[in-house]
Amino acid sequence: MGGTAFVGRPGPRAAGPQPATSLEITAEGLWLVQALCAVETLPAVLVCRPFVSECGLPESHPGYAVLQEAGVLLGGDVVHPQVKLWVQTLGNPDVVLSCLIHRGGEHLRVAIARRGDVTVAAARHGENVTVESLGPGMTLAGLVQRVLPLCGPAMVPASFDAVTVPTADLLSSLAQVLRGEHSPMVALGRLGMDADQHRIVTLAADHPVMELSMVVVTHGSNHQMQVSKTAATVTDTSAGRVVSGPVRSESGSWWTLIAPGSDAAILSALKSVMSTVGLAEWSTTPRPGR
């Protein structure tokens, strides 16, 4: 009997397209993929132009050849199934975490969208966009750990005692400081802040090294959209990282919690923002009427 030579043979090639791990593309190329997937709009934070379905697909576009060579198109106008799922998730999500990151003169726009148990992230810097799957079972803590590295080098939390102040009064006081009407000591002292607190708040307002704002948008049935009533903000200063988030009083008025920017405090602020659109967690929230 002959030897078992088949044991050493390579396995059969898998049928179908090769798995995709991420998509790096220009904003114009993403628009073409979006059109081929019949997706009219992507999350607003990405500032991508919409595809008007009534106008039909472009008959000729230089991007066709580029997408074909990159493996995004499998032949003709057939989009790679994983890429199509990502774009459809971004275009018709249950919930989106929209992030704006400013550092120096650089701006990064990030949309993290969930549809069902699929979570997809898209980040835009200039005309370049990166899209990738974050996998199933994503949590809010996991999202924070995904977003913070995009903000630049890790920062230690600023050293001061957390303080909660009426949001309207805080905005009014900061405006007075920026207009030169009052010193930080006077304007912020009226809010009950001590010297360390108003020093940190003034640094965050006047001389931020990095600013991250996070807003949550939900999409219900019948294309109903709900935007969180406020944002969670992370600011890096020369004195460390600061986070601010919303607090709703028993009377219904809004307050702002300003705290040292630990990961736990940032997660807590994001949870507070989520609660303003009726969400308690990222991956376990149903979409009524879906």
Report phi then psi at 187, rounded to 5: -65, -45
Same domain for 105 and 40?
Answer: yes
**Residue-wise over 51-60: b if at least 16 C-beta within 10 A, else e?**
beeeeeeeee
Instruction: Note whether residue 88 is domain-resident.
Output: yes
Same domain for 259 and 175?
Answer: yes
Residue 234: domain span: 163-218+230-275
Report how far residue 228's alpha carbon sits from residue 280's, in angstroms, rounded to the nearest whole number: 13
Same domain for 125 and 183?
Answer: no
Same domain for 92 and 167?
Answer: no
Of 103, 138, 173, the domain-final residue: 138
| pLDDT exceeds 70 at position 1 | no
Same domain for 127 and 170?
Answer: no
Instruction: Note whether residue 92 is domain-resident.
Output: yes
Return the residue matching tokens 């198109």: 73
Instruction: Note whether residue 49 is domain-resident.
Output: yes
Instruction: Note whether residue 15 is domain-resident.
Output: no
- What pLDDT, on a 0 to 100 scale, did the predictor assign at position 94? 94
Give pLDDT tens digits for 109-139: 999 999 999 999 999 999 999 999 998 889 9
Contact indicator for 121, 135 with CB cutoff of 8 Å: no
Same domain for 109 and 186?
Answer: no
Report how far residue 27's alpha carbon sits from residue 85's, in angstroms, rounded to the nearest whole number: 18
Same domain for 174 and 134?
Answer: no
Same domain for 133 and 168?
Answer: no
Name the residue among 178, 209, 202, 203 with its Cα closest to residue 188: 202
Same domain for 115 and 168?
Answer: no
Same domain for 170 and 203?
Answer: yes
User: How many domains does one find in the chain?
Assistant: 2
Name the residue among 128, 118, 126, 124 with its Cα closest to residue 89: 118
Work out the pLDDT band at 245, boundaries 50, 70, 90: very high
Same domain for 33 and 129?
Answer: yes
| pLDDT exceeds 60 at position 289 | no
Same domain for 133 and 174?
Answer: no
Q: Which of 45-49, 223-227, 267-271 has the lowest mean pLDDT?
A: 223-227
Report how far residue 221's alpha carbon sits from residue 94's, in angstroms, rounded to the nearest whole number: 9
Instruction: Note whether residue 143 is domain-resident.
Output: no
Contacts of 104-109 with CB under 8 Å at 24 or more apart are 108/150, 109/45, 109/46, 109/47
Contact indicator for 186, 179 with CB cutoff of 8 Å: no
Task: For the chain, give the number of residues.
Answer: 290
